[in-house]
Structure 1
């Protein structure tokens, strides 16, 4: 079916007190696995490409973006394209021409005032091109001589009052908040601060996003979706599934040299992981109807 927009999927999920899943893609196998998993779960999905993934592809955005768009247009479920964790203004400006409907602009490494100024400029530019824009805010340092604290550092938390001021001044369409998850977790042991999530949900009138969802157990993830998170980002879980399946295959077949054999099992493992996450989120929905 035709590409849908990230804003459409996230807004719809937020209205239903549920969440849409966004999966980071690196290879064509990632793309195919995410679409296959979404079709298996009969759920909408977001394919997202990070600035790190673009760097891995020698700075070339279009090859992976074109592949993702082609797969999305042939999918049996709604699929959107999102450009993730963008710090480069040059990459930001490539988003519309590469088929992306949304971008996460990441200036969270900067002190609050600089983060706000950079994000406001990015939001103005994005909105002038009809792009939906997400930003991120953790517990910001730079106060009383402290260095800025990364939004995914242990103990980082988003302050509701600061978040409300940031969203109002920046004009972003969604905000990724720090409530206990962390990027690149290889174990599902994160414990989320649901009381803080309730406060953030009450303080903000834009959809909330959870980064680092690979490390969040199913129950915590479902509770977050029901409690105000409208978009969950998953990346590391796919790489764990793919790498584990390939290792197991090669250990059992040391004579194998045809990369299609082990890439196939890796792709299938990622698709199962995608379907599993989507089913957790579907179970948290008040309504099972995902397409209307």
Structure 2
């Protein structure tokens, strides 16, 4: 089916009290696994490509974006395409031509006033082109973050930021951290509920790999909507490749271990979507 705008997927999740899973694409195998896992779960999903992933692909957005879009358009479930953690203005401006329905514009490393002005300009530009825009007040833990590990988003500041920038979704600091490889994070569910009441747009949880299933369920119940997951897929991918090569030290055909990696990533996606649903 055609790509579905991220705004529609988030709005539907928000209305029904569910979470929408947004999974990071690094390679074609990631995109295929995300779609396969979503089909197995019977749930919509967002494929997101980060600025770091674009850098990995030599700085060229179009090839990985168009490959991901092609996989998404073959899916039996609704799939959105999201450009994540964009700091480069040229990359932001490439989004419409590459099929993206949404962008996370990240000016969080700037002083607050500059973050507000830059994000407002990005939102105005995006809205004029039909794009949904996500942003954040401060960096997520694990990326030189202000919410590593004890910082939290203030509801009043969050409401003021959303009002000043006119963004469509807000990533908030409630206890998660990027790039965690253990599932030990504990979220502040009371804060999530207060943020939900204070902020008129959907809330986004970054760094969800480190959050256990029961915590994710509680987070969605408290008001989180878009749940970003990246490292979990890479853990599954790398583990499958390690296992395959350990079992056969003479293997040279990458299809033999990449297919296992794709299958294991798909299982991780399916499980996460069932938790969020």
Q: So what's the TM-score if we normalise by structure 1?
A: 0.92
1:195 corresponds to: 190
Alignment of 1:171 onto 2:154: no
Q: Deviations over 1:131-178 (max 9, x none)?
A: 0000012489xxxxxxxx724421121000000000000000000000
Alignment of 1:273 onto 2:268: yes
1:215 corresponds to: 210
Provide the aligned length of Structure 1 versus Structure 2.
274
Q: Distance in 2 between matches of 1:139 and 1:27?
A: 25
Decide whether the 8 Å contact of 2:109 with 2:139 is kept in 1: no
Q: Deviations over 1:74-94 (max 9, x none)?
A: 100000000000000110000
Q: Please show how residues 247-258 of structure 1 align to structure 2 within 5 Å.
A: 247-258=242-253
Q: Distance in 1 between matches of 2:234 and 2:21?
A: 16
Q: Please show how residues 92-171 of structure 1 align to structure 2 within 5 Å.
A: 92-138=92-138, 150-171=145-166
Partner-residue secondary structure (3-state), 1:175? strand
Which runs of no fewer than 5 residues in structure 2 stay unpaired?
none
Q: Distance in 2 between matches of 1:139 and 1:187?
A: 20
Q: Deviations over 1:170-203 (max 9, x none)?
A: 0000000000000000000000000111110010
Q: Distance in 2 between matches of 1:179 and 1:45?
A: 23
Q: Distance in 2 between matches of 1:19 and 1:104?
A: 17
Partner-residue secondary structure (3-state), 2:226? strand
Q: Distance in 2 between matches of 1:201 and 1:116?
A: 20
Q: Distance in 2 between matches of 1:166 and 1:139?
A: 14
Q: CA RMSD in A?
A: 1.2
1:229 corresponds to: 224
- Distance of aligned partners of 1:241 and 1:199 in 2 relative to their CA distance in 1, 3 Å threshold: same
- Distance of aligned partners of 1:226 and 1:249 in 2 relative to their CA distance in 1, 3 Å threshold: same
Q: Distance in 2 between matches of 1:156 and 1:108?
A: 14
Following TM superposition, by how much is the alpha carbon of 1:15 offset from its aligned partner in structure 2, in angstroms? 1.1
Q: Distance in 2 between matches of 1:259 and 1:113?
A: 49
Q: Deviations over 1:103-126 (max 9, x none)?
A: 000011111111101100100100
1:85 corresponds to: 85
1:246 corresponds to: 241
Q: Distance in 2 between matches of 1:205 and 1:74?
A: 34
Following TM superposition, by how much is the alpha carbon of 1:2 offset from its aligned partner in structure 2, in angstroms? 1.1
Q: Please show how residues 14-53 of structure 1 align to structure 2 within 5 Å.
A: 14-53=14-53
1:12 corresponds to: 12
Decide whether the 8 Å contact of 1:139 with 1:158 is kept in 2: no
